[in-house]
Structure 1
């Protein structure tokens, strides 16, 4: 089954990317951008605002679509993930829900941390890497 998902590409004023450490499968222990599955009837923007708030305690404004990827999900599902640029409008990042940790990362962190499969390549392809 194809499952619609969303992800948020969020930068701070120092051009660092917000990453969460996955606290549950798939990707347990890997670093990724905040996001998750849409609930029935939920728009991408509503789902993304909800997921970011649940995982990071941040309120965001949703920007343009950066790109779409497909990844293997649980139980043989395929996750169709729409990743959007987003801007923090309120809050301080705190790990919550299925995020085990949250942090702002610079370009050097992205090559050192264990990232979700394909994340770095997608960010490069979409030209949305921290400088």
Structure 2
């Protein structure tokens, strides 16, 4: 079991921050920014670090929204998803680290993207899909 985090970041327009994954699992698919929790790191610190590394944006970690398990063959990832707020509402995301691309997606854009399995259903169940 590998502890991981995911960031649920909305901009002022209600759009959701997404990254296109550069690596497996889910290479080429869109998902929320996130990754592994490093030893000794809190989930809040991990999510803030991952968003910065993948998008160049600084966020402040908030409450836990939910958890998912991703079975990737020999490894199972346990992902804690946190609501995050942007530190600078005017900053623009730039793909970095494990992200091949990054964007803020509204509902229409999200509907046209190839996303990681279960992403849209899970986020819909949690009530955090973009407006």
Question: Structure 1 length as normaliser, TM-score?
Answer: 0.95
Number of the residue aligned with 1:88: 86
Distance 2:106 2:23 in 1: 24
SS at 1:92 equivalent: coil
1:11-67 per-position Cα deviation (integer Å, ceiling 9, x unaligned) = 011110010000111100000000001111111001111100000001101111110
Q: How many residues align?
A: 129
The answer to whether structure 1 residue 10 and structure 2 residue 9 are counterparts is: yes
Question: Residue 110 of structure 2 corresponds to which residue in structure 1?
Answer: 110
Whole-Å separation in 2 of the counterparts to 1:68 and 1:109: 24
Q: What is the RMSD of the two structures over their aligned residues, measured on CA atoms?
A: 0.9
Query: Which residues of structure 1 form unaligned runs of 5+?
Result: none
Structure-1 residue corresponding to 2:62: 63
Which runs of structure 2 are paired with 1:17-96 in the superposition (5 Å)? 17-73=16-72, 76-90=74-88, 91-96=91-96
> Structure 2 regions of 5+ residues with no counterpart?
none
- Structure 2 SS opposite 1:70: strand
Question: What is the alpha-carbon distance in structure 2 between the residues aligned to residue 93 and residue 119 of structure 1?
Answer: 21
